Amino acid sequence: MEIKELTVVYSEEQIQERVKELAVQINKDFEGKDLVVVCVLKGAFMFFSDLLKHLTVKPEIDFVRCASYGDSTNSSKTVSFTKDLEISIKGKHVLIVEDIVDTGHTISFLMSQLKARGAESLKLASVVEKVERREIDVVVDYPGFILEKGFIVGYGMDYAEKYRELGAIYEATVIE
């Protein structure tokens, strides 16, 4: 499979405006609270970086990386950590920052793991909430954009480790 064409779905300007709006809500919701913001690597790194620039709540930050084993466009239900947290979240409010919530398996795994570690609360921010392939009911507390369907790349999201650097989000037309 290769990408034949890219069509802008969300422009850089739209994304940056939405990030600022989400930050305002997050700042309000976590004012005066002990917050840890967790970036889900690799895809959320751009959203995470942009979001942090607008947070006034002075959070601790950490990173996780989860792997779901499957091919490039289909993930399986088996999820594991390939990079775990380095700081304790016990008794702290946790905001997970994700690039896309698709089937829900990865984020469901991550949330159950972090809840078991004693997080005071768990909230989820995702640049894109994609509903087409949802298999597990997951609440995205701070959705950037809701996408019904499509294969997207850019703004941290990839195809075969490419296209992450793009500032906008594109729908990819693929050829088999």
What are 24's two structure tokens?
């305002």
Instruction: Give the amino acid at 63.
Output: F
Instruction: Give the amino acid at 53.
Output: K
Tell me the angle at which helices 12-30 and 45-52 cross, rounded to the nearest 10 degrees.
Answer: 60
Q: Are 170 and 150 in contact (CB under 8 A)?
A: no
137 is a catalytic site residue = no
Q: Are 87 and 62 in contact (CB under 8 A)?
A: yes
3-class secondary structure, 83: strand
84, 102, 137, 141: which one is catalytic?
Answer: 102
Give the residue numbers marked as catalytic.
102
